[in-house]
Copies of this chain bind each other. A is one copy, B any other.
Amino acid sequence: MKKKDNIGCIRLTLKQCAKFLKRHDNYIILTHASPDGDTLGSAYALYYGLNEIGKSACVICPDVIPKKYDYFVRSTDHVKRESSTVIAVDVADKRLLGDLKEEFGDIVDLNIDHHVSNTEFAKNLYLDADASATAEIIFELLTLMKVNINDITAKALYTGIATDTGSFKYSTVTAKTHIIAAMLHDYNINASEINRLMFDTKSKKLIDLERQVLETAEFHFEDKCMLLCVTAEMQQQTGCSGTDLEGIAVISRSVEGVKAGVTIKQTSDEEFKVSVRTYAPLDASVICKKLGGGGHKGAAGASVKGSLAEVKETVLSAVKECMEEQNAGIFTAE
């Protein structure tokens, strides 16, 4: 086991990770806040897998789990905090544990993740930054452990992979991703129904919101940056909130010629959640780091305080800086 920068964080191999799971018991599996398909799919697949080998485990999510994941979410075991082994899945930073940060942030025994930006906050870490999703890692882990995979486990894993790759569209997808998807298709997962729920189902209220958001569209830096706003008023008026808003950020990058799509979503009077989506060579995580956040190369986020006008200015400055740094000569500033 090789020590890395952060004192106390031991980097495990997949084999060591499997051994760890076989050796311990009474697992508390943590997801990140504002849960998505990958953190939930990974957590539940791991839960079902651990159950299969007779381990006791529970899944704890910092936020309410959206109803659309009901097809693989079940009530889990009761595990006492005192004698537990704490696992985090798909959690790059302890701050992403949200309301669970205080209680668990410093006592995570094992973190399984695919974010290159992982801050090594756990005691042990299995990180595969080449995996398209943490669920891809969980599949490999369960396979290595020779754990029986049930239909519901396969559904959870497929969900994690499909959602984190935008349905196999992103550059993170490899031949391995498709081979795992092929293997999951051998189970009774009804993939098209999962995809319908995850990608192609919008509420009437969301269609309303999208229309309003499109009206806020601004283009900057020779149309290479598109900026969208979701104000508190729009959220109130349409009744859209939380995970309803997940898909908005995708729109910001979908316009021809746009290299950086920015969505500014009001979370309180003077606070905004900024979502950045980029195309190479622009790196969204570099832009968001300037704003105190982080994430992946193509998709990252940050929380920024101020008025809408101030936040817009701050974010656009960061985008501009990044365009200049990463593409001197390609992009010219506005």
Interface residues of chain A, those whose CB is within 8 Å of chain B, are 162, 166-171, 173-179, 181-183, 185-186, 191-192, 195-196, 199-204, 207, 210-211, 214-215, 217, 250, 253-256, 279
Q: How far, in angstroms, from A94 to B174 measured CA to CA in the complex? A: 38
Closest to A219 in B: B204
Q: Of A169, A179, A211, A255, which is in contact with the most chain B CB atoms at under 10 Å from its CB?
A: A169
Whether B185 lies near A182 (C-beta < 8 A) is no
Whether B192 lies near A254 (C-beta < 8 A) is no
Q: Among the listed B179, B207, B255, which residue makes an inter-chain contact with A202, where contact means beta carbons less than 8 Å apart?
A: B255
Q: How far, in angstroms, from A148 to B140 measured CA to CA in the complex? A: 32
Oligomer: number of copies:
2
A172 to chain B, nearest CB (A): 8
Whether B175 lies near A192 (C-beta < 8 A) is no
Q: Among the listed B171, B181, B196, which residue makes an inter-chain contact with A192, where contact means beta carbons less than 8 Å apart?
A: B171
A328 to chain B, nearest CB (A): 23
A199 to chain B, nearest CB (A): 6
Contacts of A182 in B (CB 8 A): 175-179, 182
Q: What are 28 residue pairs bridging A and B, where the CB atoms are less than 8 Å apart in the complex?
A: A166-B195, A167-B167, A167-B169, A168-B181, A168-B195, A169-B196, A169-B199, A170-B195, A171-B191, A173-B185, A174-B185, A175-B182, A175-B183, A175-B185, A175-B186, A178-B181, A178-B185, A179-B182, A196-B279, A200-B250, A200-B254, A201-B254, A201-B255, A202-B254, A202-B255, A204-B255, A207-B217, A211-B215
